[in-house]
Every structure is written in C-alpha cells, then in structure tokens.
Amino acid sequence: MSAPLAPAQITLRGVTKTYGQGTTAFQALKGVDMTIQAGEFVAIMGPSGSGKSTAMNTLGCLDRPSGGEYGFHGVPVQGLDRDGLARLRRRFFGFVFQGFHLLPRTTALENVELPLIYRGEKLASRRAAARRALQAVGLSGWEHHTPAELSGGQQQRVAIARAIVTGPQVLLADEPTGNLDTQRSHEIMGLIQRLNREQGITVLMVTHEADIAAYASRIIRFLDGVIASDQPNPHPVYASSHPAEVR
C-alpha cells in the first residue's frame, strides 16, 4: 500500500478578488482553484491584467481575497485579522521583487538583518544569521558594501538573502530578474533553483519570460482572472550545483 499524500502546503478554493464597486468594479480573480505542495517550484505566467500578480499578492497575504478559501497548512487564512496575516508573513514567507528595495545608505549585512530586527532578535544572533544568508547567496566578503558599491546581480542576491534570513517555508518572487541583463538573470535563477532544491523552500515566481519560467518544475498560466493551464514542466532547466561567480 502506498503512503498517503502529505497535506497540501497551500490551497485556494474558488478565490475571487474584486476591486472597486458598482459600475467601476473590476474582478481580477474569478474563482481560482490552486494546490501547492511543499517544496514545489512554480512559475506563474500570463499577460498584463491576467490576474497573476493579484494571485501572487493573495498567496503572500499582501492582499485579502473578496471570496473563496485560502488554506496554509490547513489554516483558513481568509479568517485571520491584520495582525494574524502579518505574523504569518513574518514567520513563513520571504519576498523578492523586481526592484531590489534595499536601503541605499545601509550595508549588505544591515539590509539582510532588517527582518530579524522586526522580530526583535538580539544583535549577535541576527548578525550571524545575516552572514549565513549572504554566504548562501555567494556574497561572503561583501557584507560591508552598500548597494551603490554592488552590481545589479549582487543587489538582487542581497535581496534574496534578506528574504531567506528568517528561514521561510515559501519564497515569493515577483519578476525577480526584471531589472537584470540575460547573464545576471540566469545566475539569479540558478540561485533560486538551488534554494528550492537544496533547502526545500517552496518557490512561487511571477514572470513574463519563458526562459525564466523554464527553471520551474510547474507552470501555471493565468488569463482573464482564471487559470488557463496548469502543467508540469517535463524538462526544467537545471543550474550548476555550485553558486555562480559573483558579479
């Protein structure tokens, strides 16, 4: 007899999202069903206005659905108040965006420390955790450089280190290579893929680019507020097992 399947990490059931009211109302999500297992690498694609970014904001507890059910490890997320959502984000989610959102006059180490400061962790423990996170993204030796002293690829690595310093279960990446050239984009995708494969972090990534989505093991396409297709990627691009040279 085969072992029972583990409960899903994330479930959406009939999720809707409407902005505005009356004649100006716009329904961004129109009854979305989605199941994500722990450790998956999912690319979310679709044209502008398709609902993919709204879905990502809902998954990351940055936006509350208008209707339907969102479960995280079986907990009904839609029933949480603002403080409950904030605790869920701080404990379980890490975020990476197209813009790096680094504090300009602050070192890489201090930028990575920020989520731990919000948690109230002591200086020694958060410094040690930040150094480990920077090492994980290939930036040992760059701790005391400010963003102005780093390339775009290095800045995104700092942003990823900041996202993983709290040990999240889920990494949500919204166009993480949008501000990078082709070579830096593939270096960053190799890094994200290694975090998924070696640390077991679930990755949910929004992208417009097919060559970036090719790193994922599953591709979900949105169109007009619904899921148009949801398919495994039978031949994902696999990066080297070693961090790329930092540039």
What is the per-residue pLDDT for 241? 45
Q: Flag whether 172 is in a domain.
A: yes
Does 82 map to a domain? no
In a domain, 187, yes or no: yes
The mean pLDDT value for 90-114 works out to: 94
Structural domain range at position 140: 41-56+89-219+227-232
CATH of the domain at 204: 3.40.50.300
Strand segments, DSSP code E, in the chain are 10-19, 26-36, 41-45, 67-72, 75-76, 93-97, 170-174, 202-206, 218-223, 226-232
Residue 132: pLDDT over 50: yes
Helix/strand/coil for 61 = coil
What letter represents residue 204's amino acid? L
> Could you tell me the pTM of the whole model?
0.91
Using 50, 70 and 90 to split pLDDT, how confident is the model at 6?
Answer: low
| Radius of gyration from C-alpha coordinates of the chain | 18
Task: Give the model's pLDDT for residue 23.
Answer: 85
Domain count, the chain: 1
pLDDT tens readout for residues 27-78: 999 999 999 999 999 999 999 999 999 999 999 999 999 999 999 999 999 8
